[in-house]
Structure 1
């Protein structure tokens, strides 16, 4: 390690087989650490090593190695990370600094592959990226719970309204029953009076008692029959309702598209394969860029400095590679024209661009596969719910059928018993004391009818009391519903407020950073929160999106709004960097992550890089920035320089 200025060291990092590094140990200090040098000098690889020690998964294992290792010593504590190739993937282990590196990956590790910078470069949706560190899932779950509770209360209120609508008919029924009871009592009093007038002969007392006994038995049997018929009718209606529900569920089940065998597993496998493909492509892009940068440097220098970049001495055979317009190829030793090598470099750039486009295509495929997986999982859950309910219905129908059979048998037995008792009563009535017996029979029937009417009245009274009690509950239910609605509104407002506050924070920090960089034709970059309707499965829901706007100034001084799509590549790089830095500040990443890593700043000129370094260093305990040698000269010389890795 070659350090231009010695300062108190904040720690050191030992690296093996990360990126292009075979093995090295580098010391760093608190504050700014500048990795100064030309391209292809493993500066990005060292930054990846810092990321690995922090806990990031976005690390490349050296191409000719099966495993890599990083050991970070920081403030007397040691953090380790090991990466091993296994079955086409990289498996990590060890004890990194962060348990969850997501926040750092998004807003602290600002390499060229940073997800926020790439999202701006490709014009992707920013809402989920920016709000990913903000935990709104718990609030949304509470909203779903409250909405379900509110819907249940609405169903109860609808049921109360239905019962309230039936109340006048029930009250009329009660009035009618009272009138019928009064009429029956008058009839019974009249019959009993007639019975007393004719039934004063002592010898008929025994016959009278026998008839009354039979009539009581008949009345009891008829009452039992009515009860059985009522229960039977209730069970039949219940069975019909269950059969209708079963038919509906069968139709619903038949309408559900069955998940093809093995499709879900195949999708999971495809997602894993696509993720592996994405990692391979990104690694290839990184390696291609390193090769292009290295070859460009060698072509540009064409002398001892180029050999020094390769780690060789001035008398090394590589020193003879460049001679006028002819160049000795440093890979095969043959003499080729400089333009031919430049053409090869251009081809490598084209391949790199193709692979970047392939990465974007793979990401689209991953999103599509994940969406299809969610759709299949939801369909499977719905099918399981329907099948489960169908099984429950079958059990209920079986119990209902058994009950119907039992009640039908009981009804038939009662009908036979009533027929027998009626025959006995008819036999008694046909005898000479038929007048007395007729009065007893009539009185008995009237008592039975009166009893039934009184039972009906009691049932109607209970029903009305129950409805009135339910109606009294309505006001409390409405209050509960309004309270829940207020809670839902408050929670939704809270999410909206979080989104708006986050956007404001980002906009304030982007304005500060952009003002500091002072670009002539890039006046303002800001986020706008808007709502849009999207389709999820069979539902249309409202989602929030964050649109990135840019205000530019023409040469004549006229300001106008532009879109990210119209920015140049360097302006997109600057915009993505500004947005990522705003996230570092807005989410206060520096409170949990001691490092901020900067790379690929070629789109920013030297003076602005120096301003940017000074500004960010106020927030980060450790700032590690990879700069070209000429850019590093603009940075304050008091900062630590690391020129060899």
Structure 2
């Protein structure tokens, strides 16, 4: 079962690999200690099959069910931890399951399983885009989506900063208005107080004056309260209209064409498309291996023990190549070279078809990822609108209840004012002097004062609201924080690219010194950026500098390198990826194969160099190459891989 990263270290624990019916292996059971293990043997002795099986148990896509078996398995035992890869033949395919060491197939295939078909090695051989190989384990699309999201937040924050700045710019004007209103209210208070002193000076009948004074005072208070209630009604009605408009806008913005079922459907389609892409990649890799192996066999670059051209003799020697008879290396039957060539050409066409289908699937995966992001964004927006609509509904209900209460109170006060005015009018004595007029003046001034108080309250409320807004400095700091996050997201890719280039160049310099290629002065990767913008694409340019016999240096092309030199560059490039992504933290294994192009002494030095960076290193070597390897390293003969 899979373990956490903290449990990945081998820590001198024994490693046991059991293989059943995988590749060309019926059964193999191998136990080793941490360090270097050399699997020595001639070609076609299942060394590559064994390493492919180990790679599959680590989580890679290599490893295949034995042709004559219905099921097979690989078990990797590290101490008490057990990791498996299982193969089961179905009616038209082979189902792959189990619980491997990690679930990151691309990481294993690219930077751990350094066999002949390793993408990093092949990229150097073919002159492919090296940056794409290094960045393969990184979800750059997801990083770009996060950057776009942070940019949107930054733009919203900038709009908020502008609005807050505009509101705060109004504060001086509002505070001046507040002081002016306070002065007007103070002036009215002085006038009202003066009128009341004049009223008190009148010599009227005490009981009548007291009664008149009480009636007029109550009338003033009632009118003042009535005016206040009317003003509040106007304010509440305006608030209700605003809330109703806001609710209508929210209802309009709630519509979306997507549902949760749509999201789940897209996720299912995306998972299916990714699975189909993985199956196509496995099929293409398998077919390419078959074609290349048979092409090499026909070209004579591979020898299988006991397999010779059929009917060798004078007639065979002068016959055209396509008419020569061969012995099939799989079943032993006699076939013509032309028939084999035609069958290999047909397999080549199948490979092209699968590649075309893979390209279509990759395009479909990209479309589905974009659609998933779009649906998630719309569903999140709808949820936000629903929450806001519920809040507005609650406020609207509260305001309507308040309006109903105010209207009832306004009606009650209006009736009371009519009654009081009638009672005051019946006081004959108050009609015959100026007392009633003065009371009316007091009432008018009280009303005016109420209006001023209302306006002052509105101004103070706006001042409080503006002062409660977040400071422009705080919002600016938050905006800068978002910009810093964007820079950090961009820097993740940039730092990984730089680390990969620096690691490759450092490792290559070290190995060139150790391996002593006479006319290779330097091999290095240059990281190039199209322009100076933060979003500019980068490329990796591989440089090879040779030194002539006269001591002058010149740049060489990869095509002109020897096979040994190309293999060395590919292996070091893969090691740079292993170290740059810190794969050793997750997978402390490395697998090496197909090193025949490099001479034995350099192979030994290369193995010692790789062993410095990994706990467990498996290497497949020919017997004569294995003799040069340091005796302290473990050796296992390939005859145990039967």
TM-score, structure 2 normalization: 0.74
Q: What is the CA distance between 1:617 and its match in structure 2?
A: 2.6
Q: What is aligned with 1:252? A: 253
| Residues 59 and 146 of structure 1: CA distance in aligned 2, closer, same or farther (over 3 Å) | same
Matched, 1:549 2:541: yes
Q: What is aligned with 1:217? A: 218
Matched, 1:441 2:439: yes
Q: What is aligned with 2:135? A: 129
Q: What is the CA distance between 1:568 and its match in structure 2?
A: 13
- Does the residue aligned with 2:426 lie in a helix, a strand or coil? helix
Q: How does 1:532-543 map to 2 (within 5 A)?
A: 543=535
Q: What is aligned with 1:643? A: 638
> In the alignment, is the contact (CA less than 8 A) between 1:522 and 1:551 conserved in 2?
no
Counterpart selection for 2:504 from 491, 501, 510: 510
| Residues 263 and 224 of structure 1: CA distance in aligned 2, closer, same or farther (over 3 Å) | same
Q: What is the CA distance between 1:338 and its match in structure 2?
A: 2.0
Counterpart selection for 1:185 from 184, 190, 212: 190
> In the alignment, is the contact (CA less than 8 A) between 1:117 and 1:579 conserved in 2?
yes
| Residues 214 and 590 of structure 1: CA distance in aligned 2, closer, same or farther (over 3 Å) | same
Q: How does 1:77-476 map to 2 (within 5 A)?
A: 77=80, 79-83=82-86, 90=95, 92-93=97-98, 104=108, 106-111=110-115, 123=129, 126=132, 129=135, 132=138, 155=160, 158-159=163-164, 161-179=166-184, 181-182=186-187, 185-186=190-191, 188-189=193-194, 191-192=195-196, 194-197=198-201, 199-202=202-205, 205-254=206-255, 258-259=257-258, 263-292=262-291, 295-296=294-295, 299=298, 306-307=304-305, 323=312, 324=316, 325-329=324-328, 335-428=334-427, 433-435=431-433, 437-439=435-437, 441-442=439-440, 444-445=442-443, 448-449=446-447, 452=450, 455=453, 459=457, 466=464, 474=471
**Residue deviations 1:287-320, cap 9 Å, x none?**
32443355456656799x6355xxxxxxxxx778
| Residues 321 and 210 of structure 1: CA distance in aligned 2, closer, same or farther (over 3 Å) | farther
**Residue deviations 1:546-595, cap 9 Å, x none?**
42122356999886799x99999999987664432112233444455332
Q: What is the CA distance between 1:15 and its match in structure 2?
A: 0.9
Q: What is aligned with 1:620? A: 614
> In the alignment, is the contact (CA less than 8 A) between 1:150 and 1:484 conserved in 2?
no
| Residues 241 and 292 of structure 1: CA distance in aligned 2, closer, same or farther (over 3 Å) | same
TM-score, structure 1 normalization: 0.74
Q: What is the CA distance between 1:409 and its match in structure 2?
A: 3.4
Q: What is aligned with 1:597? A: 591
In structure 2, runs of 5+ residues without a counterpart are 1-11, 317-323
| Residues 532 and 259 of structure 1: CA distance in aligned 2, closer, same or farther (over 3 Å) | farther
- Does the residue aligned with 1:593 lie in a helix, a strand or coil? coil
> In the alignment, is the contact (CA less than 8 A) between 1:167 and 1:464 conserved in 2?
no
Q: What is the CA distance between 1:373 and its match in structure 2?
A: 1.5
> Cα RMSD over matched residues?
5.1
Q: What is aligned with 1:314? A: none
User: What count of residue pairs does the alignment treat as equivalent?
Assistant: 602
Q: What is aligned with 1:72? A: 76
Q: What is aligned with 2:50? A: 46
> In the alignment, is the contact (CA less than 8 A) between 1:143 and 1:491 conserved in 2?
no
In structure 1, runs of 5+ residues without a counterpart are 1-7, 309-317, 534-540
> In the alignment, is the contact (CA less than 8 A) between 1:599 and 1:625 conserved in 2?
yes
- Does the residue aligned with 1:336 lie in a helix, a strand or coil? strand
Q: What is aligned with 2:9? A: none
